[in-house]
Amino acid sequence: MADRMRLVRHLISALLLAMLGADPALGVPVAAVAGVLASIGVASSFVAIAVTVVLNIGLAILASKLLAPKLNQQQQDRQAAVTTIQLGEQPRQGVLGTAAIAGTLNDAFNYGGTYGTDWEVLVVPLADHRCNALLGYYANDAYHSFTGDGDQPDFGGQLSVWWLPGTLDQTIPSILIDYGGWASDDNMAGVCAVVVAYKADDPAATSPIWASGRPSFLWHLKGAYCYDPRLDSTVGGGSGAHRWDDPSTWEYSENPIVCRYNWVRGIYAGDQTDKPEMLLIGRGLTATEAPPENVAAYANICDELVANGSGGTEKRYRIGGVVSAADTYIKTEELFASACAGVIIQPQGSVEVEPGHAKSIVATITDDDLLAGIDRTYSEFRSESDDAWANTVIPRYPEPSQKWADHGAPIRRVYADVIADGKPREDPLSLAMVPFGVQAQRCGEIARRLGRLVRTATVPLGPRFADLEEGDWIAWQSARRFGGDTKTFRIEAYGLSKEWRNTIQLREIAASVFDWADADVLVDGAVAAQQTPPDAAAYADPIVALQTTVTSLGSDLGTLASRIDDYDGSGPIP
């Protein structure tokens, strides 16, 4: 009898553990455990009680497990590296838009006091190019606005900061020459940097400045000056004094397309754009390879004003973050594309990032336009492994109010979609270049809505459609596929044969994907669409219902324990 009881307890425990750790796709093995209980002579009523108890305990925990978001560890690691000071030789890096960066330690020394150790001086490069401004800094966890070079307020004379913007003729502070062994012409020309000196607390100080010990710093700055083809009167459609070969005409920008264009053309040492050997970061393309005329339309989309959730407006897409020479070109292109809910396309042979927005339909096709005798595909479903099928999007971005740490925006999810799909299908959206909470939500909602449009197709078309290319939107009216309705698709890729036959790959799209209003903005911790609460008139008071359930569970457990205690080992358990 004792061995059988131990087996019963182990099986019930196994059922509960299986529920808590089960893969949703595999299901919970309730029937299997119940079958084993019955096979060893346990009465059906006992089995029912045991399973009921375990189910009531486990299902709520399992549900919360299923809906718990997965984290994007790669982005967390990337942002942690940006906000932690680096040591030794590091890849060249640039700052585009507004960002916070800890930098790389270039030099450190002490001076002052009886033993020459009262002050510690740090030389910290931040970017390998000219930057616009130092806005402020974190000293440990407290933020302070930068008010100018030298002694900083609120530190009792124990902190000095000097800002080097990255010009070729910048002047280093005398503290480096007087105490650090630097020469006056060691000015880190073309490198944006800070020099920080802090004095150790007196051991007898009653209110120490550095109560937690040696301070750490995080620098908040406006990054690179950028060439904007829209402001260049020598570019078709442009108007203004900007010139690619005259960096003195450039201005600070946080427009994703403008910043990307400057990365594509290249970030050069000392802004020496006429010397290819000075390329530090980016692709280094010419104006022929990266036409400046392609910038205006996409950059203007980013500058459009949309709701900010507070009754006001903000620009549709902005950017702020770090680009590294160590990243592959495609990785950096993906950073730019994700920042503007966009796609990478190849119009007329060039490579561009197209920001997410509703587009006009450029052509309408019918079933009769599909060429006969040539392979075609169509699917109303995506595979289980396809990340483009999603019902839950967890945007993660650097949050300035959290000291620029990687932070989860409100989850974009509609529970009805999770139920329809049978399980959560998560897209942990990485937005490493978006330090703007509402924009992170907007990108996340666009990704969620796209994840519900799952139709795809590859269709061959005749010469009349030879001018269709990536990024174009078309309408497809089909009696066979859509019962006579018309669906909208975006061209993901195309192939043009020598006979001018155009084979295009399609994915479903809709203008409503890019709609945005104040009501779409959520507070932290909220979910895009909560479950509909029960009708108070149709259901009992929830507290009373919960009390009833707990009482019932207690009774079931008592009955179970009583039957085990009364069992004499002969025959099945009653």
Based on the fold, state whether residues 145 and 53 are members of the same structural domain: no
DSSP strand pairing (320-324 vs 93-101): antiparallel
Structure-token pair, residue 355: 């920001």
- Same domain for 125 and 187? yes
Distance CA 346, CA 275 (A): 27
* Residue 124 resides in a domain: yes
Residue 50 domain flag: yes
Do residues 106 and 130 share a domain?
yes
Q: Please check whether residue 310 lies inside any domain of the structure.
A: no
Question: 86 and 169 in one domain?
Answer: yes
Structural domain boundaries enclosing 42: 2-68+547-566
Distance CA 393, CA 500 (A): 40
Per-residue pLDDT of the chain (574 residues; tens, 9 = 90+): 445 445 444 444 444 444 444 443 344 444 544 554 455 455 554 444 444 444 443 433 343 334 444 445 666 677 888 888 899 889 999 999 999 999 999 999 999 998 999 999 999 999 999 999 999 999 999 999 999 999 999 999 999 999 999 999 999 999 999 999 999 999 999 999 999 999 999 988 889 999 888 999 999 999 999 999 999 999 999 999 999 999 999 999 999 999 999 999 999 999 999 999 999 999 999 999 999 999 999 999 999 999 999 999 999 999 999 999 999 999 999 999 999 999 999 988 889 999 999 999 999 999 999 999 899 999 999 999 898 999 999 999 999 999 999 999 999 999 999 999 999 999 889 999 999 999 999 999 999 999 999 999 999 999 999 999 999 999 999 999 999 999 999 999 999 999 999 999 999 999 999 999 999 999 876 766 655 555 555 544 555 555 565 566 556 656 666 666 666 666 665 5
Domain end, chosen from 190, 225, 260, is at: 225
79 and 55 in a single domain? The answer is no
pLDDT at 62: 40
- Boundary of a domain, candidates 225, 259, 287: 225
Round to the nearest angstrom and report the end-to-end CA distance of the chain.
Answer: 14
**Same structural domain, 62 and 160:** no
Give the span between the Cα atoms of 150 and 269, in whole angstroms: 27
- pLDDT (0 to 100) of residue 63: 39
Answer yes or no: is 552 within a domain. yes
pLDDT at 562: 66
Q: In terms of domains, do 92 and 220 share one?
A: yes
- Verify that 146 and 46 share a domain, yes or no: no
Predicted pLDDT at 348: 81
Residues 181 and 56 both lie in one domain: no
d(CA 351, CA 359): 19
Do 31 and 159 fall within a single domain?
Answer: no
Residue with tokens 């259901």: 539
In a domain, 141, yes or no: yes
3-state SS record for 175-239: HHHHHCCCCCCCCCCCCEEEEEEEECCCCCCCCCCCCCCCCCEEEEEEEEEECCHHHECCCCCCC
Question: Can you list the positions of beta strands (E) in 283-417?
Answer: 305-307, 313-315, 320-324, 343-345, 352-354, 361-366, 377-379, 392-393, 396-399, 405-408, 411-414
Does residue 41 sit in the same domain as residue 155? Answer: no
Closest of 91, 76, 46, 2 to residue 560, by C-alpha: 46
Question: In terms of C-beta distances under 8 Å and separation of at least 24 residues, what long-range contacts does 373-380 make, across chains too?
Answer: 374/460, 374/501, 374/503, 375/458, 375/460, 376/457, 376/458, 376/459, 376/460, 377/456, 377/457, 377/458, 378/455, 378/456, 378/457, 378/458, 378/459, 378/481, 379/454, 379/455, 379/456, 379/457, 380/454, 380/455
Could you give the C-alpha distances from 344 to 300, 351, 353, in angstroms and in order?
Answer: 17, 7, 5
* pLDDT confidence of residue 112: 94
Q: What b/e sequence results for 239-259 when a residue is b if at least 16 CB atoms lie within 10 Å of its CB, and e otherwise?
A: eeebbbeebebbeebbbbbbb
State the pTM of this model: 0.79
Query: Is residue 391 included in any domain, yes or no?
Result: no
| Shared-domain flag, residues 105 and 221 | yes
Q: Which two tokens stand for residue 113?
A: 């006091």
Cβ-in-10-Å burial (0-12, 13-18, 19+) of 109 comes to: middle
Q: Does 420 fall in a domain?
A: no
Assigned domain for 27 exists:
yes
- Contact (CB, 8 A) for 244 and 267: no
* Of 225, 255, 272, the domain-final residue: 225
Number of Cβ atoms within 10 Å of the Cβ of 21: 9
Task: Look at the chain and report how many structural domains it folds into.
Answer: 2
- 147, 151, 152, 157 alpha-carbon torsion, rounded to 10°: -160
The full length of the chain comes to 574
